Amino acid sequence: MSGGLAALILAAVLATATLSGVFGMAGGLILMGVLTALLPVPAALAIHGLVQMASNASRIVLHVRHIVWKVVGFYAIGAVATMAAFTVVSYIPSKAVVYLALGLLPILIWAPERYSPLDAARPSHAVLAGVLSTAMALTSGISGPLADLFLVRSALTRHQVLSTKAALQMFSHLSKVLFYGGAILLAGGDGFAPPWLLAAACALAVLGVTLGARVLDRLTDQGFRAWRRWIFTGVAAVYLVQAAILFARGQ
C-alpha cells in the first residue's frame, strides 16, 4: 500500500470519526464510501468494520452511563442469529451495490412515523433490528441508517441514542471483520494493509470521537435530530449519483 493511499485513509478516518462523535452515524456512511472508492470491496468492508469498532468502543466508554442495555440485549439475539445464518452464505457486493445501499438507506430517516412505527425499546423490534442491521452490514457494508430507524422514533435522548447505537453497531462491525477480515491482507491490491496503518486508523477513530463528543454536548435534542436528517440526505444524494454512474458503466 502506497504512502499516499495510507494518508488518504487516515485523514478520512479522523474526519469521519469526528462527525460520528457528534451524530453517531454520518461519519460511518462517508468513511465506507471513501474506502470503497480507494480499495477492493472486501478490504473496504473489513477495514471499515475494524475502524468503526474502535470508534464505537470509544463512544461506549464516553457515554456508557446512557446506554439502554435492555435494547442491546434483544438486538444481540437477532445479530448473533444472523451471523450464524451467514456462515453458509457466500456473497461479496459490487461497488455499485455498496453505493446504492449507501444512498438509499439514509432516506429511511425521512419515513413518516405512522408508516414505520418501529421502536427499539420494544423487545421484538430490537430483535428485528439486530437481524436486519447485521444482514445489511454483511451484504452492503452499512446498517446504521436502518438501526437509526428503530432508535430515533423512540423516546430516547440524544445521548441515549448515540451510546445505545454505538453498542448495537459493535455487532454489525464485528460481523464484517469476521467475514471479510482476510481481505485486509490484500488491501489496495499491491500488498497488505500494514499493522501500523490499522493501529493508527483505530487511534484516530478514538481521537475523532473524543473531539465530536465536545460538540454533541452543545447540541439540543431537536438540533441533533434535525442536523442528522439533512446530513444524511446530502450524503445519500452523492452516493446515488455515484451508484448510477457505476451501473451505467456496468461496474
Residue pLDDT, tens place only, 175-209: 998 888 876 665 555 556 788 888 999 899 888 87
Mean pLDDT of the chain: 82
Q: How confident is the model at residue 18 (pLDDT cuts 50, 70, 90)?
A: confident
pTM as predicted: 0.81
The three state secondary structure string of the chain is CCHHHHHHHHHHHHHHHHHHHHHCCHHHHHHHHHHHHHCCHHHHHHHHHHHHHHHHHHHHHHHHHHCCHHHHHHHHHHHHHHHHHHHHCCCCCCHHHHHHHHHHHHHHHHCCHHHCCCCCCCHHHHHHHHHHHHHHHHHHCCCHHHHHHHHCCCCCCHHHHHHHHHHHHHHHHHHHHHHHHHHHHHHHHCCCCCHHHHHHHHHHHHHHHHHHHHHHCCCCHHHHHHHHHHHHHHHHHHHHHHHHHHHHHCC
- Among residues of the chain, what percentage have pLDDT more than 90? 18
Residue pLDDT, tens place only, 33-46: 899 988 888 888 88
Say what the pLDDT of residue 72 is. Answer: 93
Residue 131 has pLDDT above 90, yes or no: yes
Q: How confident is the model at residue 130 (pLDDT cuts 50, 70, 90)?
A: very high
Residue pLDDT, tens place only, 86-118: 888 877 888 998 899 888 877 776 666 666 677
Q: How confident is the model at residue 58 (pLDDT cuts 50, 70, 90)?
A: confident
